[in-house]
């Protein structure tokens, strides 16, 4: 799972990235070239995994991770630069727009006012223009092929024209009702406005305390406070958060929202010496979940032995008791994995 922090220059992306990934990348320059990108990873803390670990005491506990990249900032009216920056997010599952909400005269900004909602729409527009370019070039190519007498996929062209119409009308593809069979025709193209997106408003302390923008669904944080958190020890963090009125650090908020927009759930495996969490899309079948671990397990799949997290806790991790009580179930390939399932895959090599 990979996400990208993106947004206009000097909105606080790198500040937030530092806070999330406990890095100390310099943020003083105010200009980042488009090819510069920072990479990091966040553990997906899960109190259920911790609790299971307390019961079975494995030698090793492996949390799921979310990879995160921090891109250079977009620039107003600079499509060449923006194209390069946006292309850096091609290989990601979701986008996080960082919106400038802090008012700080010493940090330059391209817009005359601080207006996160305007910036959200401007960002949508930048990504939309790249998609429009993509769709236009693809249509041109198909037309050329047709002219040369080559065989073309008429269905793909039809879908592309349908998408182009919406993009030209200023509609992001997320808002277009695209049918599964239409998606199939364009699956080789990577449209940016089809990626799930959510936004973080980076507020100054004053606006943060005033609870500004509370009516929006955006995540509200204060970048400077978050970067202070990164410098604290584990013991100090709790009381700092409480004193500052922050319910949880920005990294956790972003992970939670990422799972939500991607519709991801977690399941757990216990294969001594390791207890491990895995992330999959809701609706994934046991056979595909097995493949997530190893292609051999998928290929040789015999059955899945499944106990829900709550049931596991109710028998204090005693699998024999779970079997007797019938809460350790045997499931087949088509079983739809549920959030919190603890699964043992049986397979032949």
Interface residue list for ligand GDP (CB under 6 A): 7, 9-15, 27-28, 32, 73, 102, 104, 107, 202, 204, 222-224
The residue among 223, 314, 308, 266 whose CA lies nearest residue 45 is 266
Taking the least distance from each CB to ligand GDP, the nearer of 32 and 269 is 32
Give the nearer residue to ligand GDP in terms of CB position, either 40 or 340: 40
Contact between 96 and 6 (Cβ < 8 Å) = yes
Query: Which of Mg ion, ligand GDP, none does residue 340 bind to, with CB < 5 to 8 Å depending on kind?
Result: none
Nearest distance, CB of residue 125 and ligand GDP, angstroms? 18
CB of 90 to ligand GDP, least distance (A): 20
- Coil vs helix vs strand at 7: coil
Size of the site for Mg ion (CB under 5 A): 3
**220 scored as a contact of Mg ion (CB under 5 A):** no
12 binds, among ligand GDP, Mg ion, none (CB under 5 to 8 A by kind): ligand GDP
Instruction: Give the nearest distance from C-beta 114 to ligand GDP in angstroms.
Output: 11
> What span, in angstroms and rounded, lies between the C-alpha atoms of 307 and 305?
7
Beta strand 2-6 pairing with 64-70: parallel
Residue 155's alpha-carbon distances to 88, 125, 150, 265, 329, in angstroms, are 29, 27, 15, 34, 45
Considering only 8-16, 193-201, 214-222, 289-297, which stretch makes contact with Mg ion by CB under 5 A?
Answer: 8-16
The partner in contact with residue 40, picked from ligand GDP, Mg ion, none with C-beta cut-offs of 5 to 8 angstroms by kind, is: none
Considering the complex, state which of residue 105 and residue 273 has its C-beta at the smaller distance from ligand GDP: 105
> Out of ligand GDP, Mg ion, none, which partner does residue 202 contact, by CB within 5 to 8 A per kind?
ligand GDP
Q: Which is nearer to ligand GDP, 166 or 220 (CB)?
A: 220
CB of 78 to Mg ion, least distance (A): 16
Alpha-carbon span 43 to 249, nearest angstrom: 13
Closest CA to 338 of 303, 317, 309: 309
Cβ of residue 75: shortest distance to ligand GDP, in angstroms?
11
Is residue 327 helix, strand or coil? coil
- Binding range to Mg ion, per CB under 5 A, among 7-15, 48-56, 244-252, 253-261: 7-15
Q: Which is nearer to Mg ion, 6 or 269 (CB)?
A: 6
> Candidates 32-40, 136-144, 155-163, 283-291 — which segment interacts with Mg ion by CB under 5 A?
32-40
Residue 257 binding Mg ion, by CB under 5 A: no
Residue number with the shortest CB distance to ligand GDP? 223
Indicate which single residue of 6, 11, 14, 92 sits in contact with Mg ion (rule: CB under 5 A). 14
Output phi, psi for 43, to 5 deg.
Answer: -75, 140
CB atoms within 10 A of CB 337: 26
CA neighbor of 18 nearest in space, from 226, 201, 200: 226
Q: Smallest distance from the beta carbon of 72 to ligand GDP, in angstroms?
A: 8
To which residue do tokens 């998928």 refer? 298
Q: Which long-range contacts (CB under 8 A, 24 or more apart) does 328-331 make?
A: 329/305, 330/303, 330/304, 330/305, 330/306, 331/286, 331/303, 331/304, 331/305, 331/306
Residue 13 interacts with Mg ion (CB under 5 A)?
yes
Residue reference for tokens 């030698």 = 59
For the four alpha carbons of 150, 154, 160 and 164, in that order, the dihedral sign comes to positive
Of 40 and 73, which CB lies nearer to ligand GDP in the complex structure? 73
Which does residue 88 touch among ligand GDP, Mg ion, none (CB within 5 to 8 A, set by kind)? none
Report which of 253, 132, 143, 243 is spatially closest to residue 201, judged by C-alpha positions: 253
| Cβ closest to ligand GDP, residue 9 vs residue 298 | 9
Contact set with Mg ion (CB under 5 A)? 13-14, 32
């Amino acid at each position: 799972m990979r996400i990208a922090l993106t947004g206009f220059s000097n909105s606080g992306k790198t500040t937030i990235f530092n806070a999330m990934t406990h890095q100390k990348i310099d943020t003083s320059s105010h200009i980042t070239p488009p090819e510069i990108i920072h990479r990091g990873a966040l553990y997906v803390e899960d109190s259920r995994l911790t609790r299971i670990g307390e019961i079975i005491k494995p030698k090793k506990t492996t949390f799921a991770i979310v990879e995160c990249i921090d891109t250079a900032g977009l620039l107003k009216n600079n499509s060449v630069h923006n194209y390069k920056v946006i292309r850096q997010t091609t290989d990601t599952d979701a986008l996080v727009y960082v919106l400038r909400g802090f008012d700080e005269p010493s940090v330059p900004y391209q817009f005359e006012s601080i207006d996160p909602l305007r910036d959200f729409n401007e960002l949508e527009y930048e990504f939309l223009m790249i998609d429009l370019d993509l769709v236009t070039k693809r249509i041109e190519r198909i037309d050329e092929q047709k002219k040369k007498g080559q065989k073309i996929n008429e269905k793909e062209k039809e879908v592309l024209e349908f998408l182009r119409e919406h993009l030209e009308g200023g509609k992001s593809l997320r808002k277009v009702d695209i049918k599964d069979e239409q998606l199939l025709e364009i699956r080789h193209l990577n449209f940016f406005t089809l990626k799930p997106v959510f936004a973080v408003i980076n507020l100054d302390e004053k606006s943060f305390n005033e609870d500004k923008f509370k009516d929006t669904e955006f995540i509200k944080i204060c970048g400077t406070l978050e970067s202070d958190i990164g410098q604290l020890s584990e013991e100090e963090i709790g009381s700092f958060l409480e004193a500052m009125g922050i319910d949880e650090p920005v990294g956790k908020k972003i992970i939670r929202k990422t799972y939500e927009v991607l519709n991801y759930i977690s399941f757990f495996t216990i294969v001594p010496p390791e207890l491990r969490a895995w992330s999959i899309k809701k609706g994934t079948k046991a056979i595909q979940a097995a493949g997530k671990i190893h292609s051999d397990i998928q290929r040789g799949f015999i059955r899945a032995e499944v106990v829900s997290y709550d049931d596991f806790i109710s028998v204090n991790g005693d699998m024999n008791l779970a079997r007797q009580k019938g809460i350790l179930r045997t499931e087949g390939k088509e079983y739809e994995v549920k959030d919190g399932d603890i699964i043992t895959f049986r397979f032949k090599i």
